[in-house]
């Protein structure tokens, strides 16, 4: 059985993303492992007149986190029941330490297939859309990472957008995307924005069409020098429910989420983002 890791802070944003994790589990026959991570603060003992033992303070904080964890688990169970997904196998893990480090470690130890994370922020697209933690997870693990914007309300995933420039790495990534599409009985809409400086050989495009002729894959070649605007418009006008992109390395995300894109995407793009990885 496949495994989905769901890091949560029990916020509304996380609870909203939990439904995506459950629906994903239902459609690809997977179990969900929820993960809550807490950090113990550094205690400065120089400003108190009352003798306080650090170990006792930490023990109290750990107990409070554990009690909160126990109180929140039924909330997740209720979400599953409300959407008739109580049959999904769910286990729960509580860990102390850094969120990103624990998530990446668990993806390795537990052989996680997907990580689903709710995301929100306030300053810039990297924070607003995928969040710094989610961005770090996307670039630090080989698992497929699905970032769910806080404003994204779940809809059945019937159309998956996939941006491409017809590279060998993207060919492999598109193959990896097929099982997910089949699980949801979804169509994959491949988007190639052809600019004045970027022309792919027509023979390569024809080869891709032959390779995927038996699959629900459609190719859209759009001439435009405004790549980001064109992708946004395509997603909005074609009712795309999920956008998949190949994540080469950290610099990819840094170049993708630059300032000029922040305002456009923050206001217009509200669909989940799936980060695929090359080998």
pLDDT in tens, 142-196: 888 888 888 888 999 999 999 999 999 899 999 999 999 999 999 999 999 998 8
| Integer Cα distance of 207 and 251 in angstroms | 29
| pLDDT tens by residue, 123-136 | 444 443 445 666 66
Count CB atoms within 10 A of the CB of residue 208. 19
Going by C-alpha positions, the residue among 1, 201, 271 that lies closest to residue 114 is: 1
Tokens 């509200």 found at: 270
- Burial group, residue 265, by CB count within 10 angstroms (0-12, 13-18, 19+): buried
In 52-109 the beta strands, taken as DSSP E runs, fall at 90-96
Q: Record the pTM.
A: 0.80
| Integer Cα distance of 81 and 30 in angstroms | 17
% of the chain beyond a pLDDT of 90 = 44
Half-sphere exposure of 128 (CA within 13 A, CB side): 19
| pLDDT tens by residue, 79-122 | 999 999 999 999 998 888 888 889 999 999 999 999 998 876 44
- Name the token pair of 188: 């994959």
């Amino acid at each position: 059985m496949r495994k989905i890791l769901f890091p949560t802070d029990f916020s509304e944003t996380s609870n909203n993303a939990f439904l995506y994790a459950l629906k994903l589990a239902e459609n690809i026959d997977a179990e969900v492992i929820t993960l809550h991570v807490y950090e113990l603060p550094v205690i400065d003992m120089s400003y108190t007149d009352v003798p306080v033992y650090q170990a006792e303070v930490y023990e109290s904080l750990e107990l409070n986190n554990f009690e909160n964890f126990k109180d929140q688990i039924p909330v997740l169970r209720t979400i599953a029941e409300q959407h008739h997904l109580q049959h999904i196998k769910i286990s729960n893990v509580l860990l102390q330490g850094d969120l990103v480090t624990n998530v990446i470690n668990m993806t390795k130890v537990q052989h996680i297939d997907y990580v689903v994370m709710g995301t929100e922020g306030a300053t810039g697209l990297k924070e607003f859309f995928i969040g710094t933690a989610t961005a770090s997870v996307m670039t630090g693990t080989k698992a497929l990472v699905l970032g769910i914007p806080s404003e994204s309300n779940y809809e059945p995933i019937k159309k998956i957008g996939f941006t491409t420039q017809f590279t060998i790495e993207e060919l492999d990534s598109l193959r990896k995307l097929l099982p997910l599409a089949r699980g949801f009985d979804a169509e994959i809409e491949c988007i190639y924005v052809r600019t004045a400086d970027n022309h792919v050989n027509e023979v390569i495009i024809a080869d891709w069409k032959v390779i995927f002729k038996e699959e629900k894959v459609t190719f859209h070649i759009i001439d435009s020098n405004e790549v980001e605007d064109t992708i946004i418009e395509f997603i909005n006008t074609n009712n795309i429910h999920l956008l998949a992109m190949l994540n080469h390395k950290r610099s990819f995300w840094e170049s993708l989420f630059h300032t000029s894109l922040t305002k456009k995407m923050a206001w217009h793009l509200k669909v989940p983002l799936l980060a695929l990885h090359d080998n």
